[in-house]
Structure 1
Amino acid sequence: MTKLYGIPNCDTVKKAKKWLTNENISYDFHDFKKQGLEQNKVESWLAQLDWQKLLNKRGLTWRQLDQQTKDAVNEQNVAKLLVAHPTLIKRPVVEHNDQVSVGFNDAQFTALFKD
């Protein structure tokens, strides 16, 4: 089963949902802003992804953090920060066949769902 994590009003999440629907790929959507995230889930993603790829430094949530928090973020504490502020996660995160992918573009999704 494919699981898509994100927030429903994110344009990139909308594109990913549309792509999955157009390709007739069923998925479950997890709104991590409303439903939250467990630390072990984020840690499982970080086992496959570089933490700097998962952390969204372009969004409003990042800009609103105090400078001390921004300066202190590292591989050891990023999971805790992402659980506390799920909108810091680059979207969407997709779990498919024991693989984790972050972000969206056609080529990336075509490769992920080639089976």
Structure 2
Amino acid sequence: MKKIYYLSTCDTCNRIIKELNIPSDFVLQDIKTEPVTTEQIHEMQKLAGSYEALFSKRARLYKERDLKNQNLTEEDYKNLILGHYTFLKRPVIITEDQIFVGNAKQTVETAKLAI
């Protein structure tokens, strides 16, 4: 499966998608209009190694809920991501057996080579 989870209202996600010249065999899923399912997040976790690796600590709600001062478990990270789309680090790019999470320059450059 080749898929990109992104937020259509995120300028950074849109810039990265444009920069990557996504082939037509990729499926794009706007996580705001089509929330991530339990099955999808589990698949991402298997490729990424943990739910924490998929979790955005930059999310506004992370600060508002004072989550940095809590001891979050893998189950907590999973439930937070499933509960609100802003907790998923974006974009998430999945090729057949690789995952690229977030918008760090090195991540995007590596994803370019894999696409």
TM-score interval, normalised by the smaller of the two chains: 0.7 to 0.9
Distance 1:68 1:12, change over 3 A: closer
CA distance in 2, matches of 1:17, 1:28: 12
CA distance in 2, matches of 1:53, 1:103: 9
- 2:75 partner SS: coil
Q: Give the corresponding residue for 1:25.
A: 23
Q: Give the corresponding residue for 2:109.
A: 107
Q: How many residues align?
A: 110
Amino acid at match of 1:6: Y
Q: Give the corresponding residue for 1:3.
A: 3
Distance 1:68 1:90, change over 3 A: closer
* TM-score (norm. length: structure 2): 0.79
Residue deviations 1:41-91 (CA, integer Å, cap 9, x gap): 1111111213332111112121222x3696142113321211101211110
Amino acid at match of 2:56: N
Q: Is the Cα–Cα contact under 8 Å of residues 13 and 90 in structure 2 kept in the other structure?
A: yes
Does residue 45 (structure 1) correspond to residue 44 (structure 2)? The answer is yes
- Structure 2 residue runs of 5 or longer lacking an equivalent are none
- Structure 1 residue runs of 5 or longer lacking an equivalent are none
Distance 1:85 1:72, change over 3 A: farther
Q: Is the Cα–Cα contact under 8 Å of residues 62 and 68 in structure 2 kept in the other structure?
A: no
* TM-score (norm. length: structure 1): 0.79
